[in-house]
Structure 1
Amino acid sequence: MENVREIYEKYGALLKGHFLLSSGKHSEYYLQSARVLEHPDVAEKLARELAKQIKEAGIEVDTVCSPAIGGLLAGYELARALGVRFIFTERVKGEMTLRRGFEVKKNEKILICEDIITTGGSAMEAAREVEARGAEVVAFAAIANRGVCQKVNGKSERKPECKLPADKPFFALDDFDFEVYDPENCPMCKAGSTPIKPGSRGN
């Protein structure tokens, strides 16, 4: 498979500017995965590669769960590649919730999948929701890792702001280790620039 970074560049999904991330942090770069995943053949290819990593690691998965809305396409394709069920959580009054008749069984093995993971905040909200209903979260996955958390066999070291549990494996196809800033320490803000939020939800 071609380099994941090259795929993002090919489809205009690696943006440069001043961006507000879902984590609340700012960055000069933004990964707009929807521009990649709008092509079903590309989404399928990426998901199969991710599924291969998960299978080789011996992770047993019953169901893939994604937080809406960014993780939906990646999660659905990953579930298809793994041959398992797919469900998703969505925000209701700010809380990540399992709706639409979705249910999980006690000890059901769930993999949480995002398109991009920065700190893993949304992924952890989805994980807590399914765990509260008795399921077991066995791993996390994403097409791309923003470099805050450490993926299996990754180059980036885990940073203090990573919210994913250190004892659960995190699979991703590539590390995009771009500098991120707290708003009060953002050099672009200090230079007078205003961040934009091209993603699926604001902060």
Structure 2
Amino acid sequence: MTRDEVLDVFKSCGALLTGHFILSSGLRSPVFIQKARVFQYPDKTEIVCKALASKIGAAGLGKIDAVVGPAMGGIIPAYETARHLGVPAVWTEREAGEMRLRRFELAPGARVVIIEDIVTTGLSSRETVAALRAIGAEVLAVACLIDRSAGKADCGVPLVALAEYEVPAYPADALPPDLAALPAVKPGSRNI
């Protein structure tokens, strides 16, 4: 799938929003990718996750034992991507402010790929990498539907992106005037 084909799926679901958004990273942006609007349609989710599974397969990572989706945003794409890879899907979630694998077990040395929805700074990915390494898993890569950083995010392991879509993001104290003039909205789920 090309970048434009991926973005067309998101656009067809009304998932590319414009305004003044507070991202889960704390940065501000004039664009928010509301992936939940894609995930409400199983057929659209299948299209992008099947393509992501294909891209993961082509990345030469070798045998994959499981995929792991960080809650909340990674659960649905991890499940659907795992279906196409033919491996189990599990997820991490926050407990006392830290990412943990609470409901599942992975064998020591399990070879895993973390599946993200959208990557901006790589913070959630790095937290998930640390949680999985702490229990003895081997994290092969992070894979995402859209990399908002266009390859600049540091996930702590290689990043496989179905599409790169560089969108500006600014610290709250360095907003361009046109963005600062709009009311800020926080549609993400990190602090819920």
With the length of structure 2 as denominator, give the TM-score of the two structures: 0.92
Give 3-state SS (helix, strand or coil) of 1:180's partner. Answer: coil
Give 3-state SS (helix, strand or coil) of 2:17's partner. Answer: strand
- Contact kept, 8 Å, 1:183 with 1:189, in 2: the verdict is no
Deviations 1:114-173 (A, max 9, x none): 11011111111111111100111001111111025x2xxxxxxx2xxx3312xx331122
Among candidates 49, 62, 71, match of residue 65 of structure 2 = 62
Structure 1 unaligned blocks of 5 or more: 151-157
Match for residue 183 of structure 1? 172
Match for residue 111 of structure 1? 113
RMSD of aligned alpha carbons: 1.8
Answer yes or no: is 1:198 the counterpart of 2:156.
no
Structure 2 unaligned blocks of 5 or more: none
Give 3-state SS (helix, strand or coil) of 2:55's partner. Answer: helix
Match for residue 162 of structure 2? 173
- Contact kept, 8 Å, 1:23 with 1:121, in 2: the verdict is yes
TM-superposed deviation, 1:200? 2.0
Match for residue 75 of structure 1? 78
Greater Cα shift, 170-179 or 24-33: 170-179
Answer yes or no: is 1:50 the counterpart of 2:41.
no
Identity score, percent: 41
Among candidates 24, 27, 34, match of residue 26 of structure 2 = 24
d(CA) in 2 for partners of 1:54 and 1:163?
18
With the length of structure 1 as denominator, give the TM-score of the two structures: 0.87
